[in-house]
Amino acid sequence: MRSLSFSLAALAVLWTGWAPDAAAAPKGFLETIHRHAMVASTSPGNGDLNPYAIFLVPQDMGVLKKDEVLVTNFNNISNLQGTGTTIIAYSPVTKTSRLFASAPANLAACPGGIGFTTAMTILKSGWVIVGSTPSKDGTTGTKGDGCLLVFDSNGKFTEAWKGPLITGPWGDIASIDNGDTAVLFISMAAAGLPAPDVRDPVTHYPPILHNATVLRFNLHIPPGQAPVLDKQTVIASGFAGRADRDNFLFGPTGLALDTDGTLYVTDGYDEEVTAIDNAVNRTEPVTRQNDAVGRIITKGGLLNWPLAMIWVPGHHLLVANGRNGQVVEIDPDAKKQIYAQWIDSDQAQQPPGNGDLFGLAMTPDNRGFYYVEDDMNTLNVSLP
């Protein structure tokens, strides 16, 4: 991600830390956040770079301890995208990070190899599931379809799930975990994307494909055994996907599941958050209509290539921007953007923080949140 022009609104946010209408907005979670700090490096011994996914360990399991933080890396030591092979674990007790798991760069079980993305979750049964959207040269020109890898709680690779519907596991994993069964929702963003130097003859930009999907995975977990993938269902299709040299690709990234079965999705290229109704039980996919997949919750405004998305207190959603260092708080019921806060104001990028933010995760006490800074390869925390 490179230079973009400032708007007056963006400048106001840069200096104040809040959206211009923050004083008039209803109170929200971000209003309580005042401190931002680096807690650990996310680059392990092999030099992997570009932290993406963040997930908190829910309980002691294997070598993992409750409230430790797992982070994936998308790039290798040469900073090529789609080549990162490691997951690190950060301990809030020791204040240090260590390697938790890794996979061979050319793992035959995963089409195209390994490039760990923002797709990661940990099941109650102790299994870690992570997505790979790999590349050979750091661009979509050599991408593979990738896979979902299953690791045990000691970091040992167990198996890989692949197939015709798995075409670049990309965004957050939203889930329902019942212990012996689970339902996962994962976006697929890489189907058919050409190399970033391929240009549309009309726009002269990389072509936009509207074939990115969200899949629902139904699993059962036998006692003491790895999860079994029972069924894959496309529940939404038609999200925008586009190759990009700096960002690898644009595609649906943030997924957040509500208690009523509504799945919220960030559509990065279209700058919007949409809702997929009855995501848990639907048998037919929602398709693209009127330039959106599902119901539009909010569009444009403070959103600036929205990426990861999580629930925060007040039944609000928090979204990380990809094109600047802001997070945006949204009230999905009111369909309103509350305000934004600048959590990465590094002016080495334009706008500040451009290209630095990806994954998000709440702290165990639900009062703050973890995030990564891609340019510094660090895990950070925002607190009251």
98 touches 46 (CB < 8 A)? no
Whole-number Å distance between alpha carbons of 263 and 256: 6
Nearest to 145, CA basis, from 130, 164, 129? 164
End-to-end CA distance of the chain: 30
- Do the bridges between strand 369-373 and strand 228-244 make them parallel or antiparallel, or are there none, so unpaired? unpaired
> What was the pLDDT predicted at 346?
87
> What was the pLDDT predicted at 27?
75
| pLDDT higher at 180 or 346 | 180
- Do the bridges between strand 228-244 and strand 286-289 make them parallel or antiparallel, or are there none, so unpaired? parallel
What's the pLDDT band for 350 if we cut at 50, 70, 90?
A: confident
- Do the bridges between strand 248-250 and strand 96-102 make them parallel or antiparallel, or are there none, so unpaired? unpaired
Q: Is the domain defined by 8-383 classed in CATH 2.120.10.30?
A: yes
Whole-number Å distance between alpha carbons of 263 and 129: 20
What's the pLDDT band for 229 if we cut at 50, 70, 90?
A: very high
Whole-number Å distance between alpha carbons of 186 and 215: 5
Sheet containing strand 128-132, strands side by side: 116-122, 128-132, 147-151, 157-161
- Chain centroid to CA 88: 16
To which residue do tokens 């809702």 refer? 275
Domain boundaries, the chain: 8-383
- On whether the pTM is more than 0.75, the answer is yes
Looking at every residue in the chain, the average pLDDT score rounds to 93
Question: How much of the chain, in percent, has pLDDT values that exceed 70?
Answer: 93
Phi, psi dihedrals of residue 222, rounded to the nearest 5° = -65, 150
Phi, psi dihedrals of residue 14, rounded to the nearest 5° = -60, -45
Whole-number Å distance between alpha carbons of 244 and 213: 18
Q: What is the CA radius of gyration of the chain?
A: 19
> What was the pLDDT predicted at 275?
98
Report the SS3 class of residue 172: coil
Question: How much of the chain, in percent, has pLDDT values that exceed 90?
Answer: 91
